[in-house]
Amino acid sequence: MAKQREGRQKLKKGSFKKALRLYKYIKPYRAEFALGLLFLILSSAANLAFPKYLGDLVDAANTDDIVANIENIALILLVILVAQAIVSFFRVVLFVNVTEKTLASLRQATYQHLIKLPMPFFNAKRVGELNSRISADISLLQETFTTTLAEFIRQLIIIFGGIAILLYTSPQLTLFMLAIVPVVVLIAVFFGRFIRKYSKDVQNEVAQSNTIVEETLQGIFNVKAFANEFLEIARYRTKTNSVAKIAMKGGKYRGAFSSFIILGLFGAIVAVIWRGVNLIAAGDLAIGELFSFVIYSGFIGGSIGGFANVYANIQKAIGATEELMEILEEEEENLSETESHQNLPDFKGDIQFKNLSFHYPTRPDQKVIDALNLEIKSGTQVALVGPSGAGKSTLVSLLLQFYKPQSGTLLFDGKPAQDYPLSLLRNQMAVVPQDVFLFGGTIRENMAYGKPDATDEELKEAAQKANAWEFIEKFPEGLDTLVGERGVQLSGGQRQRVAIARAVLKDPAILILDEATSALDSESERLVQEALDRLMVGRTSVVIAHRLATVRNADEIVVLENGKLREKGTHQELMADENGLYHSLSSLQFNS
């Protein structure tokens, strides 16, 4: 147990250290932040001064010059109120300004870092989780910086400043108040949490009962087909009775809580006033001082009550910061902005795998590529075929440098892949996948992703080469037609041709095709295949083939099985070997 506690303490210290790393994002605006803190302290000090002058206002009734004293104190109170209003305005404005600038910098830094992370990171994370980190967690920090942190500091000032003023006013009554009010407030806080737990239990039970209704109505066909109407009625009755039972129990606790508030908190105030009146009778306290004392006690009690909630919110923010910092600690790919969308002079596109082996980080005991030796000459069309799990897609990922091999070497034009700047190397390649992803903007934006500075003439020429211009010019908006999320406004064949036009614009030395026609109808397949045939001319083309009929004319067909090279040659050469894997796969497909 002691070791576990020590581990938790270390974790908290580590979390706090990570939270302190946010300072570098606040640092450029530290002058504004410091001024905001100063205004917060002044606002809190004005808050503490207010009850004191209210007490003086009460005592002014017992002085000789009542009217003059009341007017003077009222004027002071008015000045305090106006000053507090002005200071509070500037405090809020400054905190919001600093927060928005800081979080904008943090969002930009997180997104910039996130998008530069290697593929293994994204394979291990869910998109929803990453989106939550960059949106929900940073929004939590926004509330912390603008509200929670200010409230935390304000409550600390009120608690300790208020107690100091009370001790100065009457040490006897202060000790009496501290023995009663904070204890009652803390009991009320924990009692309130206990009741909220019951409310959550009721909400959970209600949610479960709603799930029964939803499932039953969605599956009404099965309910009636199996004559289970009364079974579902009984199930729903049991769940709703459970809801009522928990809610009634919670009602008793809420009633007890209301009674406690009346008896405990108001009783504590009555006790403080009773003790104060005794001190007035003994001549140790003035009436106005007691009046101020009661207000200060209310301030302190309220701050103690709210402190637990504020502290919990700060802990949540520290937790969110820790998860953000974990992402920011991940190692980025070595990318360079200046090299993006540039061509390498004299890059031919020769590819060579030398004794290359690879396994995924999550499956170290399972080799996906095993001691592969393969050479792909520039300008040739090479097809990768083989059964599912043979390693075809993995080879493409290795070509694109999404992963690094555990052993062996990958060479481009006789030079190791790691000797090329990563952005520059990837820019020499283009991929046309089976499942095309289009961004939710226009056709123009999706095509220009291959060359951001492309002119309208270049876009039109690329679309014509991709057999896409025919359908694009029929749209009223032409290139400015919105494709919808993931390109849903376009058919499968149209999406493929936009993707091919994108590759045409990039003008790559190495073209990678992942069975780009397998999901299309006959007419769309013909148009896409024509475009691909044009695109492959003069380039090193690596084609992942599931349907062997599409690669009969390849310069070389490479047959993979369990990450090993089994056969290679032309279609005719491989079909000549009746005992070969390619012959077997081809016969199965064509016979079916």
| Extents of the domains making up the chain | 9-169+306-331, 171-284, 339-426+549-592
Put residue 40 in one of left, alpha, beta given phi > 0 → left and psi -120 to 50 → alpha.
alpha
* Secondary structure of 327-379 as H, E, C letters: HHCCCCCCCCHHHCCCCCCCCCCCEEEEEEEECCCCCCCCCCEEEEEEEECCC
Q: How confident is the model at residue 4 (pLDDT cuts 50, 70, 90)?
A: very low
- Which residues, including other chains, have CB under 8 Å from residue 149's CB and lie 6 or more apart? 314
Query: In the predicted model, is pLDDT for residue 2 greater than 60?
Result: no
pLDDT at 553: 81
pLDDT at 67: 60
Closest by CA to 43, choosing from 170, 135, 154, 130, is 154
| Other Cβ atoms within 10 Å of 73 Cβ, number | 19
Closest by CA to 447, choosing from 423, 422, 429, 472, is 472
Closest by CA to 289, choosing from 549, 60, 21, is 60
Q: How many residues does this entry show for the chain?
A: 592
Rounded CA-CA distance 8/459 in Å is 59
Three-state SS at 411: strand
Rounded CA-CA distance 92/159 in Å is 21
**Beta carbons of 386 and 331 less than 8 angstroms apart:** no
Query: In the predicted model, is pLDDT for residue 3 greater than 60?
Result: no
- Which residues, including other chains, have CB under 8 Å from residue 424's CB and lie 6 or more apart? 336, 339, 342, 344
Closest by CA to 89, choosing from 79, 100, 81, is 81
Q: How confident is the model at residue 10 (pLDDT cuts 50, 70, 90)?
A: very low
- pLDDT tens for 434-461 read 777 888 788 888 888 878 888 888 888 8
Query: In the predicted model, is pLDDT for residue 11 greater than 60?
Result: no
Query: In the predicted model, is pLDDT for residue 403 greater than 80?
Result: yes
Query: In the predicted model, is pLDDT for residue 476 greater than 70?
Result: yes
- pLDDT tens for 302-332 read 777 677 677 777 777 777 777 777 788 788 8
User: Which letter does DSSP use for residue 261 in this model?
Assistant: I
Closest by CA to 253, choosing from 308, 188, 209, is 188
Beta pairing class for 564-569 and 351-358: unpaired
Put residue 413 in one of left, alpha, beta given phi > 0 → left and psi -120 to 50 → alpha.
left
- Which residues, including other chains, have CB under 8 Å from residue 58's CB and lie 6 or more apart? 287, 288, 291
**For 386-396, what is the mean pLDDT?**
84
Rounded CA-CA distance 46/84 in Å is 6
Pairwise pLDDT comparison (314 vs 85), residue with the higher score: 85
The fold of 9-169+306-331 is: ABC transporter transmembrane region fold (1.20.1560)
User: What value does the mean pLDDT of the chain take?
Assistant: 79
- pLDDT tens for 332-351 read 887 776 555 567 778 888 88
Beta pairing class for 510-514 and 429-432: parallel
Rounded CA-CA distance 337/482 in Å is 28
**Beta carbons of 397 and 403 less than 8 angstroms apart:** yes
Three-state SS at 384: strand
pLDDT at 273: 80
Q: What is the dihedral of CA 526, 439, 343, 112, to 10 degrees?
A: -160
CA-derived radius of gyration, the chain: 36
Which one of 3.40.50.300, 1.10.760.10, 2.60.40.420, 3.40.50.720 gives the CATH number of domain 339-426+549-592? Answer: 3.40.50.300
| Other Cβ atoms within 10 Å of 170 Cβ, number | 20
Pairwise pLDDT comparison (208 vs 525), residue with the higher score: 208
**For 362-379, what is the mean pLDDT?**
86
Residue 349 CA, distance from chain mean position: 38
Reported as half-sphere exposure (CB side, CA atoms, 13 A), residue 179 has a value of 9
**Beta carbons of 264 and 184 less than 8 angstroms apart:** yes
Rounded CA-CA distance 95/40 in Å is 10
Rounded CA-CA distance 511/496 in Å is 15
Rounded CA-CA distance 503/337 in Å is 20
